[in-house]
Amino acid sequence: MSRQATVHEAADWPSHGGQAAALLKRFGLPDDHVVDDVSANLNPLGPPEWVASWLVTRLGGLSRYPSPDYASARQAIAAHNGVQPAQVLLTNGGAEAIFLATALHAGGRALLLAPSFGEYARACSAHRIETAENVLREPHFAGEMADLLEKAANADVVFLCRPNNPTGTLIPIDAVETLLAHTRETGTQVVVDEAFIDLSIGVEALTPLLKRYGHLVLLRSMTKFYTLPGVRLGYVLASENIVATMSHHQPPWSVNHLAAELVAPLLADSEFARLTQQWLASEQPRMGKALLALGLEVVPSHSCFFLVRPGVLQRERGVTSAALFERMLYKGLLARHTHSFKGLEGSWLRLALRDESANNRLLKVLHDCLC
């Protein structure tokens, strides 16, 4: 297969970030070609240093079943978010939270953003949910409010992602409130995935709205902020009724003992949170400007990743996103392709923020690849 043909065939690209082995194979590169991953949106400061040794001290618990209601983890999450423990469901990563939220509407209709995280559509399909889309249009990826309200009225559930993956864009809080007021009348549940809320700048979580809107469901992931994708920790915040109903769909002991035990000490680590916010506050704006200065089109992002594509002049010279992806891979950097995001179909790339020196390396490689 020619390299050109390989670049343009979108059908079988890996559906998530990372997966370097599959991509090296696809581009005919050797297995030992060293790549640095800028595709995964994970906090470069994590996991907190103490986690590995702390886990060792808890290994004894592996020979027992976890407590089925995860009372202490839920208590810690509730205190951290200012809600009641009965409003918390601990989940096996944010991904399980998404599947549980869709399970409530099996056989119904859902409204999704496009482009957005692909697991909402996959979960809907698994639960035979018919989907419609509120399209976020290039180049700013803002949605049409009238369209959102109209389509929401015909849906049982709306999935929002705030900030949105992969665009980093944010539905303003007053727009969310308009949607909540409207959907309260139409009986539509509103699910907001806040997986990146702690890795965002100037973005308020929607937690205070839970008091006023009983049909609001918030999904959280502890994966990104604590850099623990292998542990699988997430949770749902919602009304007591919704949490109780959702819990019926969750397999027993879905969260393993080590993960459940980790919740309270992770949330108590305020120094890790402070250092993360400090890193984000300095690197996020710096990289936003530096990417623009390279001539890239950069979607204004509120989070720890940027959706970019070569600027018009660069594209006219043949430096498309596909070409840039390939050049970067050859130079040892794995960007996130966007073939699996409906509405993008590979025409943009997503780049994750990392620490200062890794970010500088990214800028250097991009500079060389865009020449």
Ligand X SMILES: Cc1ncc(COP(=O)(O)O)c(C=O)c1O
Side chain identity, residue 105:
H
Say whether residue 93 binds ligand X (CB under 6 A).
Answer: yes
Give the containing element (helix H, strand E) for 187: none
Q: How many helices (H) and strands (E) does the chain have?
A: 15, 13
Give the containing element (helix H, strand E) for 133: strand 130-135
Phi-psi region of 168 (alpha: psi -120 to 50; beta: other; left: phi over 0): left
CB 67: neighbour CB atoms within 10 A?
12
Closer to ligand X by Cβ: residue 188 or 303: 303
Contact 209, 220 (CB under 8 A): no
Closer to ligand X by Cβ: residue 39 or 314: 39
Say whether residue 229 binds ligand X (CB under 6 A).
Answer: yes
CA dihedral 314, 138, 209, 90 (to 10 degrees): -60
Say whether residue 163 binds ligand X (CB under 6 A).
Answer: no
Say whether residue 221 binds ligand X (CB under 6 A).
Answer: yes
Say whether residue 307 binds ligand X (CB under 6 A).
Answer: no
Taking residues 180 to 219 in sequence order and writing x for each that binds ligand X by CB under 6 A, - otherwise, the string is -------------x-x------------------------
Residues forming beta bridges with residue 216, ordered by sequence position: 190
What is the longest distance spanned by two Cα atoms in the chain? 62
Burial class, 229, CB count within 10 angstroms (exposed 0-12 / middle 13-18 / buried 19+): middle
CB of residue 22 to ligand X, shortest distance in Å: 17
Taking residues 95 to 134 in sequence order and writing x for each that binds ligand X by CB under 6 A, - otherwise, the string is x---------------------x-----------------
CB of residue 1 to ligand X, shortest distance in Å: 29
CB of residue 161 to ligand X, shortest distance in Å: 5
Say whether residue 165 binds ligand X (CB under 6 A).
Answer: yes
Nearest-CB residue to ligand X?
93
According to CB under 6 A, which residues from 311 to 370 bind ligand X?
none
According to CB under 6 A, which residues from 255 to 294 bind ligand X?
none
Closer to ligand X by Cβ: residue 165 or 239: 165
CB of residue 260 to ligand X, shortest distance in Å: 14
| CA distance to 198, 219, 299, per residue, from 233 (Å) | 15, 11, 29
Scanning 91-99, 147-155, 317-325, 359-367 for contacts with ligand X by CB under 6 A, the matching segment is: 91-99
**Cβ neighbours of residue 100 closer than 8 Å, sequence gap 6 or more:** 89, 91, 236, 246, 249, 250
CB of residue 165 to ligand X, shortest distance in Å: 4
CB of residue 224 to ligand X, shortest distance in Å: 7
By the criterion CB under 6 A, which residues form the site for ligand X? 93-95, 117, 161, 165, 193, 195, 221, 223, 229, 234
